[in-house]
């Protein structure tokens, strides 16, 4: 039986299939990870850092191989796929470089005599459930901080990324982790639930859809396990003023087309003040319409196919439904197989389904608003709260809007600025935790108080 297969979205070809693990293999994986947790936790931070740094080096050495796998699995253009692996490398190195800071005692000011510190100790084996849209990056930002703390990793990758899963497991093994320090499992959802319930597993992190997050959180809650969730987003891109509107438009295009439009924190709703709306929208539509979905194996390709035929069909249904409900299609709205043309919708109102939906692909919605207050109101009128983007020439306005937006991240006058040291995460239905930065190493850790007389 197999749910795991590499199906090239550009061609529809099934490249390879992988057998789902048996229950005995799942038991072996959990047992190995639990046993390795004892050894790894007892390893000094300096020695852990050396292994983590070697993991980064192997990502760098194998970036072309990993990039090619990513292209086959989910259609990311090759230049972006290799760039993803390079970013994963930077993330892993960040935790190697900062391991002493991550594991250092935190002295406390106390009332009375004596001393007190908070000492960060690992929890043990953790389960990570990762998505298909960033096969290397998502794994790095979960695994690296937790390995730095001293936890071990059981990794269930997306069923369409089994080749990435195997290649990444090989890197962690070849870097010198103890056996079981990082274990890949080709598990069913039912087997994943069994892993979460296992008393030898001490937490679970999931990046994915709201439905997946809710399902995992339900199982984790029943078993009193810590859960970290990074879910969907419908990030606003607010344009209030501009000295160079062409530059703002290019930022908007870059933010929408990144990862073929399949980033949780990609800008999806473009909210523009009335005085700039017509010019912005005209330029935005023209720029997007000029981008063609092409062969992702070519270095010059900007936009490849969606991750699967099913994903393209789902986006087509959303766009068609929006038009049927009264939205105006300004460009695009068509597909060939899994390739979807850049698409812009306008005249969307709150009674339309698309107003509440996440568009996962190269499709955008533009909104005209009267002023700053109206822009913030539209931006917040969503169940999501992951990232957001604000473009303005007024620094005080930027502060007001950043404070008013209900999101985990606000980027002012720039896009695609994620970095290893910056925490990533959302609020509302976008998630409950933070990844990247030093905060990521505080998710699955025992903050142990040690009080001395």
Residue tagged active-site, from 73, 163, 169, 264: 264
Q: Pairing state of beta strands 235-239 and 389-391?
A: parallel
Label each residue of 398-427 as H, E or C: HHHHHHHCCCCCCEECCCCCCCCCCCECCC
Residue 115, burial from CB neighbour count under 10 angstroms (0-12, 13-18, 19+): exposed
Question: Of 16, 17, 12, whose CA–CA distance to 2 is shortest?
Answer: 17
Q: What's the rounded Cα separation, in Å, for the pair 134 and 27?
A: 27
First to last CA, the chain: 60
Angle at 314 between CA 424 and CA 257, to 5 degrees: 45
| Contact predicate 143/172, CB 8 Å | yes
Q: What's the rounded Cα separation, in Å, for the pair 410 and 389?
A: 6
Q: What's the rounded Cα separation, in Å, for the pair 176 and 170?
A: 10
Residue tagged active-site, from 73, 169, 230, 358: 230
Question: Of 314, 406, 402, whose CA–CA distance to 358 is shortest?
Answer: 314
Q: Pairing state of beta strands 152-156 and 235-239?
A: unpaired
| Contact predicate 40/177, CB 8 Å | yes
| Catalytic site includes residue 161 | no
| Contact predicate 303/362, CB 8 Å | yes
Angle at 273 between CA 270 and CA 276, to 5 degrees: 95
| Contact predicate 174/31, CB 8 Å | no
Catalytic machinery residues: 230, 264
């Amino acid at each position: 039986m197999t749910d795991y297969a590499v199906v090239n979205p550009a061609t529809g070809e099934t490249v390879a299939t992988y057998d789902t693990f048996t229950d005995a293999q799942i038991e072996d994986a959990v047992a190995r990870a639990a046993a390795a947790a004892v050894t790894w936790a007892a390893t000094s931070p300096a020695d852990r850092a050396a292994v983590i740094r070697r993991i980064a080096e192997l990502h760098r050495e194998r970036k072309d191989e990993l990039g090619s796998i990513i292209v086959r699995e989910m259609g990311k253009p090759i230049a972006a796929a290799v760039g993803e692996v390079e970013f994963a490398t930077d993330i892993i190195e960040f935790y190697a470089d900062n391991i002493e800071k991550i594991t250092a005692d935190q002295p406390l000011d106390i009332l009375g005599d004596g001393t007190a510190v908070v000492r960060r100790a690992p929890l043990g084996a953790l389960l990570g459930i990762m998505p298909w849209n960033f096969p290397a990056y998502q794994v790095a930002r979960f695994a690296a901080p937790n390995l730095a703390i001293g936890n071990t990793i059981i990794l269930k990758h997306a069923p369409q990324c089994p080749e990435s899963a195997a290649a990444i497991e090989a890197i962690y093994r070849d870097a010198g982790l103890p056996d079981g320090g990082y274990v890949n499992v080709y598990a069913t959802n039912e087997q994943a639930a069994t892993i979460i319930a296992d008393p030898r597993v001490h937490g679970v992190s999931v990046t994915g859809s709201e439905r997946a997050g809710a399902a995992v959180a339900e199982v984790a809650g029943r078993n009193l396990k810590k859960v970290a969730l990074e879910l969907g987003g419908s990030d606003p891109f607010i344009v209030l003023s501009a000295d160079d509107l062409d530059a703002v438009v290019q930022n908007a295009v870059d933010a929408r087309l990144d990862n073929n439009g399949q980033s949780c924190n990609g800008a999806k709703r473009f909210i523009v003040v009335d005085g700039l709306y017509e010019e912005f929208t005209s330029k935005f539509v023209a720029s997007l319409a000029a981008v063609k979905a092409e062969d992702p194996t070519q270095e010059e390709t900007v936009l490849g196919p969606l991750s699967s035929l099913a994903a393209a069909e789902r986006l087509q249904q959303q766009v068609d439904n929006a038009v049927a409900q009264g939205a105006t299609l300004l460009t695009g709205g068509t597909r060939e197989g899994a390739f979807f043309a850049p698409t812009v919708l306008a005249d969307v109102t709150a009674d339309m389904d698309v107003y509440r939906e996440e568009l996962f692909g190269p499709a955008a919605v533009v909104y005209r608003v009267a002023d700053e207050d109206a822009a913030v109101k539209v931006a917040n009128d969503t169940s999501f709260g992951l990232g957001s983007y604000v473009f303005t020439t007024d620094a005080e306005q930027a502060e007001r809007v950043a404070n008013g937006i209900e999101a985990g991240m606000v980027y002012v006058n720039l896009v695609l600025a994620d970095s290893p040291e910056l925490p990533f995460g959302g609020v509302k239905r976008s998630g409950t935790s933070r990844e990247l930065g030093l905060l990521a190493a505080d998710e699955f850790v025992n903050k142990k108080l040690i009080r001395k007389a």
